[in-house]
Amino acid sequence: MRIAIATVQVPFIRGGAEMLAAGLVEAIRQAGHEADVISMPFHFYPVREVQRSMEIWNSENFAAINGYNIDLAICLKFPTFYLKHSDKVAWIIHQHRAVYDLWDTPFTQGLSDSDEGKQLRKEIIQRDTHAFQGFKKVFTIAKTVSHRLHSFNQIDSTALYNPPKLANYFYTATAEPYIFFPSRLETLKRQDLLIKAMTYVKSPTVALLVGEGGQRPHFLQMIEEFDLQQRVKLMGRISDEDMLAFYAHCLGVFFGVHNEDYGYVTLEAMLAAKPVITCTDSGGSLEFVINHQTGLVVEPEPEAIAQAIDQLYFNQKTAAQMGRAGLERYQSLNISWENVVQKLLY
């Protein structure tokens, strides 16, 4: 089969969505088919740019391009859902969140207040609903996305999980007394919660944070302010090999982000057989972490997180058991590219 994977991109930014598209192409090719990513730039503002983008995708006919017949089109992101093809399958990374779950929040103030914003919202929801009705199958990357799709568009969909990039290479090792948190250093990832929590931790556990990002100076300042230089380290970017080792040796992984759609970190922690500390408002991670069985789900408060960290440190046997239970849970979920391809193609 010849398969087109349609997506949009913000040039020069490579995040989870780009990795997902790359992983999908690779997996489809492995399965013996032809596949290519077809992408266009996307502008989040102004409103007429969003509308222009919607029009472009709406006018694209994917049945055949320059004499190449396309057997199947897989749509990943808004507004690729509107392209024309008789065999369309959706695997939604996320919808246009500005007019859905982020509508009327501080993130979209200018848009939510304006008339043209309200008009855009109406238009998108209507056209999305219409488009999804024409899909052969609708999948999402996680239940959080499915729930939104159901509540806003009344469309049923299935969550189809994909494995993290290095899934085959994870291993586990003896726990050392540190909590590991790899993520970009950004407000929504809430590294500040962990840093504050470290001031309440009674055990000698330390925190190792991996990743770069705009909030780095702010976090560094916090560490200094709380005098945590010997308890919290920002390690910056590290190699894949280091990443695997720091997962393997940690006491537990912290993933207390704010309402993440999916979150590979949770899965990576499970692959390394480590318990995950996550928060009640962290989103995707809650689909995987079972409180007290594969990790600890706590309120997004520093004291609560500190307690969870101490709990892992002072009950290391239990912590290790939770880690193992996490790995077993991962294995029972059949998270693999083979499964993704199977579901999307057949």
Report in angstroms how near the CB of residue 224 gets to another protein at its nearest.
Answer: 15
Here's the x/- map for another protein, 250-279, by CB under 8 A: it reads as -x----------------------------
Q: What are phi and psi of 88, to 5 degrees?
A: -110, 135
Quick check: 213 binds another protein (CB under 8 A)? no
Nearest distance from C-beta of residue 181 to another protein, angstroms: 14
Residue closer to another protein (CB basis): 31 or 38: 31
Which 139-168 residues touch another protein, going by CB under 8 A?
166, 168
User: Which is nearest to 285 in space by CA: 181, 143, 178?
Assistant: 143
Nearer of residues 93 and 223 to another protein, judged by Cβ: 223
> Residue 91 is which amino acid?
W
Nearest to another protein of 66, 230 (CB atom): 230
Q: Rule CB under 8 A: which of 19-38 touch another protein?
A: 30-32
Angle at 24 between CA 268 and CA 65, to 5 degrees: 160
Q: What is the DSSP string of 125-161?
A: HHHHHHHHHT-SEEEESSHHHHHHHHHHH----EE--
Rg (CA), the chain: 21
Nearer to another protein, 69 or 230 (CB): 230
Q: Which of 177, 199, 324, 333 binds another protein (CB under 8 A)?
A: 177
- Out of 175, 194, 222, 306, which residue is the one contacting another protein (CB under 8 A)? 175
Q: What are phi and psi of 279, to 5 degrees?
A: -110, 160
**Structure-token match 């992983």, residue found:** 23
Convert 197-211 to b/e letters by CB count within 10 Å (16 or more is b): bbbebeeebbbbbbb
Residues at the interface with another protein (CB under 8 A): 30-32, 166, 168-169, 173-178, 204-206, 208, 230-231, 233, 235, 239-242, 244-246, 249, 251, 313-314, 316, 338, 341-342, 345-346
